[in-house]
Structure 1
């Protein structure tokens, strides 16, 4: 772990270096990354699957469950960032553009 400030590009580099050091980059095709992203998102859904809305709002109050949620969120983000790197998508620019489109599409009431 490093003491450098976190940013998307730095995290993407760390993920790429991690994969390269283990010779995993050969497996990081868009298809495989999207599949892995879907699996990890499903694991996050599984935590919440049978909770009531009220229980789901309190999920972070239990340390064990909070740890599971945090780990799955990290896994989803890791695969999403890796996918963006492979496809040369700037995730922050993509999100900003999507918010702009949604603001035009769904104007304030």
Structure 2
């Protein structure tokens, strides 16, 4: 079963939120972590990961798109922290019984009405 968690460094396909949700649920269940994955606990873990993500940028000032002056190690660290945030967010939505992808699409539509192009 451990091999189901292995993934090539640069996969050739887009990964869906549903696939992430399912893999996270399987991962947590296999380790007996469901008992700890209450919405509150997941939210607090998510906030902690956002803090770790913020630390990466804390003293860098403005950063150019594409991170041209960053080392590969710095970019890898950023990838890891962004992934932690995403994974906790996806898990939180799942535990709350929400469809995060649909909620995001609905929010984009609401924002387009709130902030029309002509304003």
Using structure 2 for the length normalisation, give the TM-score: 0.82
More helix by share: 1
Output the aligned Cα RMSD: 2.1
Q: Which residue of 2 aligns with 1:81?
A: 90
Deviates more, 1:86-95 or 1:50-59: 50-59
Secondary structure of 1:50's match? coil
Using structure 1 for the length normalisation, give the TM-score: 0.89
Gaps of 5+ in 2: 1-5
Deviation at 1:8, TM superposition (A): 1.4
The structure 1 residue matched to 2:52, chosen from 43, 47, 70, is 43
Gaps of 5+ in 1: none
Runs of at least 4 residues of structure 1 off by over 6 A? none
Counterpart CA distance in 1 for 2:68 and 2:97 is 35
1:37 touches 1:80 (CA, 8 Å); kept in 2? yes
Deviation at 1:59, TM superposition (A): 6.4
Equivalences for 1:1-109 in 2 at 5 Å? 1=6, 5=13, 6-54=15-63, 58=67, 61-109=70-118
Counterpart CA distance in 2 for 1:15 and 1:60 is 33
